[in-house]
Amino acid sequence: MSILSTITTAANPFKEYLIAGAAVALGIGVLLYNHHERAIGAAQTIAADQKTVAAQVERDQAVQTIATVATQLAEKNYENAIAVPVTNAPVPVRLCRLALSSGPLPSAAGPGPSGVSAPVVGSPDASSVAELQRFADAAVAIARDADKQVVALQAANAALRAEMLNANAKK
- Domain membership flag for residue 110: no
DSSP assignment of the chain equals --HHHHHH-TT-HHHHHHHHHHHHHHHHHHHHHHHHHHHHHHHHHHHHHHHHHHHHHHHHHHHHHHHHHHHHHHHHHHHHHHPPPPPSSPPPS-HHHHHHTT-PPPPPP-B-TTSPBPPP--PPPHHHHHHHHHHHHHHHHHHHHHHHHHHHHHHHHHHHHHHHHHHHHH-
C-beta separation of 57 from 108 below 8 A: no
Rounded Cα–Cα distance for residues 50 and 42 (Å): 12
Instruction: Please tell me the total count of domains within the chain.
Output: 2
97 & 162 share domain: yes
96 & 51 share domain: no
pLDDT tens track for 121-141: 445 566 777 788 888 888 888
- Domain membership flag for residue 117: no
Q: Which of 86, 91, 83 is nearest to 138 (CA)?
A: 91
57 & 92 share domain: no
- Reported as a pLDDT band with limits 50, 70 and 90, residue 120 is very low
95 & 22 share domain: no
pLDDT tens track for 3-52: 655 555 556 788 889 999 999 999 999 999 999 999 999 999 999 999 99
What is the domain extent for residue 137?
87-101+125-171
Domain boundary among 21, 50, 83: 83
* pTM higher than the cut 0.75: no
- Domain membership flag for residue 115: no
- Domain membership flag for residue 106: no
Measured CA distances, 92 to 76, 85, 98, 141, 165 (Å): 32, 18, 10, 15, 48
59 & 97 share domain: no
- Domain membership flag for residue 21: yes
- Domain membership flag for residue 164: yes
- Domain membership flag for residue 114: no
140 & 155 share domain: yes
Q: 13-28 burial, b for 16+ CB within 10 Å, e for fewer?
A: eeeeeeeeeeeeeeee
Backbone angles phi, psi at 109, to 5 degrees: -80, 155
- Domain membership flag for residue 134: yes
pLDDT tens track for 131-169: 888 888 888 888 888 888 888 888 888 888 888 888 888
